[in-house]
Structure 1
């Protein structure tokens, strides 16, 4: 239970009232003073210092936003030169009518109490989403400008503040994934910007919304990527921690007004296509979420094995999704120079999915054979998959050793591996985290009955429920070689 001290809590609101009263007495002076000089002037007021003192005491009671500064403990936020300007507080002080909600907004910003935070991930897909649709614990939705204003810091002064949202998101029509997050603590925005710090110091890309993003990429052939990621403490902090958002591009002109719209990526669906994608995610979401329930497994050895399987799936998903910005329509590689490296990482992601035992070499053979029996639909396709992945390993070896890979297969392999990897993700998600990839796939090489009973049959039960287009019904790929005609 939170410790409270009503006298401490009540002291903050009178301090804010006195602060605003002081502003009212010198409003003409405030109106004639520039922001930089005015911020310095306001900080020197004893009323401002009283607000900061009361805010610290109230934040301590609320156990809100603790940080140390030179050996001295601090709680909550302070009115500073920067936030007086950035949050629109100076402009509120200049105006004769203080918004009714402003004192309460300011008190909550400075001293809490704590409240649930959330993550908001902007994706580059053009989807005609109406309302909100759940995918793996996230909500797929299109926020309006009013929705953004509800969580913008100090809503009652936000019209005078610097807008924390990227322009395309503010314009409307962008799709986002949103979720309340209990792993985010109240904080002040990073001085240098969290996006800069992460890009410089993060050893491997972490994508919080990887589950819904993975399913959106499996549900149809066009890649979907993160355009921007925000961390939000509603009414107190909005910080873009990754990405720059979508560009604004000219919309189709009506001859009268020049309009702009978000520059979506290659995934642009109509309403029926979106309905098919959402049917796919509705069916697959519960199956994917089962991969995160390893902690519920009673048996210790099974729990460890299930956890390792979950971690392998997540690592492969991150590697797969992180390559999205290098892809164009239909999974094609944008630049020739990236083909070899993309083959390297696709092969790595496949290997991470199907090699579950300690490596004793023969990775090329194991990965090619296991992938073939996991996703191949007939003998010809299984042979084609084995050949393609063997070629991919040859290119991967060249890249790993700093050699220039041969041009042979470079043009076709990325698209082939993109298809195989998406199908491997889908089938493994269906088969579940306790599916023994090594044993079952190796046995299925020798037994058609094992392949049917343990792989093809269970996968078919789910795939037959999935929409035919633009979904992921397994089909012969366009990369398979035609059969030779008998003489």
Structure 2
């Protein structure tokens, strides 16, 4: 007769298979059942039970195709799966993997094999098809998936770019790299069952795409991430994306955003990869490949590109913490962040290295984003009657390289404000030329704030811009540090 007992860890355990005891292991609980061998044996028995279930269903419904869901539900409710789940829980506690606690009580730990997870990892499909699988590899993959231990994760962000890099480039704690087939394959969940899963990506098709990645320390809590959709997902990665958007003529946008637990689970935040047909020899159907619009860097350009990225990345100020940093620093950093995010948001409505918006509504949005960016950087102390004058003059000082350009930039900004007024009151939409010129100006003003970061943080940069209208010396002191960045247009 099986007796059950609810433990302080909130697990109902069958005492024929496990006995829980309390122990003092750095505040953890020690369980004799926390043995990987027990889990591996339980999973092996579960695979055999799954094969028997599939055979029984085939006999019961001869000639009918088995449904993976039916297999998944039957297997999840089997005694063998329950034993595997119990063993995995205790081993997960021992490994401190996926633990959720309330005080000293463990509410849950690790991952459980449910009908949904058995379908998701591809096991149900493999059993339905009767396909040969490597039991030893499958069992080992399942054990790690269910019970850990914690491993480093990867925050992986795909960007709209086409380039070849001999090695990754570090940008503000992220790595920029062109992914190979093997880079992408090694991250996929449960590789031993990979042929039977609906994968988050196809390594063959995504090979060559450009990504930003950041390695994450092992996390004992898994599966609790809730990803709310964002109107502008680029805003969360504005620092590395700003660097790339300054170095190249393109405003870089995100295509994908995944949290990866390599070999176990991939959590998707965003996937909006665009595909285009690639011509074949005429005898076969066209192959659909991701369509990268931005950067388009040739291998011979890599050394200069790498140097420029590192040069711009070094200009980024450190983010102030809530507890530290002056009021001026926090205010200046917030305004720089707004400007960068608006530049990136406007870029969502452009195509490749042009600022051509997809439709008139987006053209208006882009114009307003650019105006907000400029006002955040150089319009801090302006009053209603002088906004246009001060912003046009300060923008001209920071964005232009000579007197002729300064006159042209000031005129362009005045025209932008007139266009904004017309648009708000239902007039004509901004022209493509307006947006192309304005994007270049905004990029140069952001660069000016970064190059003169100390003056910008103190609030003195805008006053120096005003003084530069009357002082050739002040104009030169602002202009000279910007000369090495004249490639940014």
> Structure 1 residue 403 and structure 2 residue 438: aligned?
no
| Distance in 2 of aligned mates of 1:126 and 1:330 | 12
> Structure 1 residue 178 and structure 2 residue 207: aligned?
no
| Contact in 1 for aligned 2:39/2:87 (Cα 8 Å) | yes
C-alpha deviation, 1:306, in angstroms: 2.1
Which structure is richer in relative contact order (CA contacts within 8 A, separation 6 or more)?
A: 1
C-alpha deviation, 1:3, in angstroms: 5.5
Which residue number in structure 2 is paired with residue 135 of structure 1?
A: 171
Which one of the candidate residues 104, 110, 122 is aligned to 2:146? 110
| Distance in 2 of aligned mates of 1:260 and 1:217 | 27
C-alpha deviation, 1:91, in angstroms: 4.9
> Structure 1 residue 42 and structure 2 residue 64: aligned?
no
- Where 1:323 maps in the other structure, the secondary structure is helix
Deviating more after overlay: 269-278 vs 320-329: 269-278
| Contact in 2 for aligned 1:40/1:81 (Cα 8 Å) | yes
C-alpha deviation, 1:254, in angstroms: 4.5
Which residue number in structure 2 is paired with residue 339 of structure 1?
A: 363
C-alpha deviation, 1:295, in angstroms: 5.1
Query: Residue 58 and residue 8 in structure 1: after superposition, are their counterparts in 2 closer, same or farther (change >3 A)?
Result: farther
| Distance in 2 of aligned mates of 1:87 and 1:353 | 49
Structure 2 unpaired stretches of 5+: 1-24, 59-65
| Distance in 1 of aligned mates of 2:257 and 2:42 | 39
- Where 2:34 maps in the other structure, the secondary structure is helix
- Where 2:82 maps in the other structure, the secondary structure is helix
Which one of the candidate residues 253, 259, 271 is aligned to 1:225? 253
C-alpha deviation, 1:296, in angstroms: 12
| Contact in 2 for aligned 1:132/1:141 (Cα 8 Å) | yes
> Structure 1 residue 326 and structure 2 residue 345: aligned?
no
Which residue number in structure 2 is paired with residue 154 of structure 1?
A: 190
Which residue number in structure 2 is paired with residue 430 of structure 1?
A: 451
Which residue number in structure 1 is paired with residue 331 of structure 2?
A: 308
Which residue number in structure 2 is paired with residue 480 of structure 1?
A: none
Q: How do 1:5-404 and structure 2 match up within 5 A?
A: 7-8=31-32, 10-11=34-35, 13-24=37-48, 27-31=51-55, 32=58, 34-67=67-100, 73-91=107-125, 98-165=134-201, 167=202, 170-181=205-216, 186-188=221-223, 194=227, 197-199=228-230, 205-251=233-279, 253-254=280-281, 258-288=286-316, 291-294=317-320, 303-335=326-358, 337=360, 338-357=362-381, 362-399=386-423, 402-404=424-426
1:15-59 per-position Cα deviation (integer Å, ceiling 9, x unaligned)? 341232243266354253532221121122122112222323333
| Distance in 2 of aligned mates of 1:183 and 1:334 | 42
C-alpha deviation, 1:234, in angstroms: 1.9
Deviating more after overlay: 269-278 vs 417-426: 269-278
Query: Residue 274 and residue 256 in structure 1: after superposition, are their counterparts in 2 closer, same or farther (change >3 A)?
Result: farther
Calculate the aligned-residue CA RMSD, in Å.
3.3
| Contact in 2 for aligned 1:125/1:268 (Cα 8 Å) | yes
1:395-417 per-position Cα deviation (integer Å, ceiling 9, x unaligned)? 33344xx411346x634321111
C-alpha deviation, 1:389, in angstroms: 1.1
| Distance in 2 of aligned mates of 1:456 and 1:235 | 52
| Distance in 2 of aligned mates of 1:176 and 1:170 | 14
Query: Residue 240 and residue 10 in structure 1: after superposition, are their counterparts in 2 closer, same or farther (change >3 A)?
Result: same
| Distance in 1 of aligned mates of 2:334 and 2:26 | 36
Which one of the candidate residues 420, 429, 443 is aligned to 2:441? 420
C-alpha deviation, 1:80, in angstroms: 0.7
Query: Residue 2 and residue 398 in structure 1: after superposition, are their counterparts in 2 closer, same or farther (change >3 A)?
Result: farther
Number of residue pairs aligned between Structure 1 and Structure 2:
447
Which residue number in structure 2 is paired with residue 484 of structure 1?
A: none
1:180-233 per-position Cα deviation (integer Å, ceiling 9, x unaligned)? 24598844387xx94xx414xx6x655343222222222222333211111112
| Contact in 2 for aligned 1:370/1:442 (Cα 8 Å) | yes
Query: Residue 317 and residue 440 in structure 1: after superposition, are their counterparts in 2 closer, same or farther (change >3 A)?
Result: same
Give the structure-2-normalised TM-score.
Answer: 0.81
Larger radius of gyration: 2
| Distance in 1 of aligned mates of 2:334 and 2:219 | 22
Which residue number in structure 1 is paired with residue 11 of structure 2?
A: none
| Contact in 1 for aligned 2:97/2:220 (Cα 8 Å) | no
| Contact in 2 for aligned 1:223/1:328 (Cα 8 Å) | no
| Contact in 2 for aligned 1:229/1:243 (Cα 8 Å) | yes
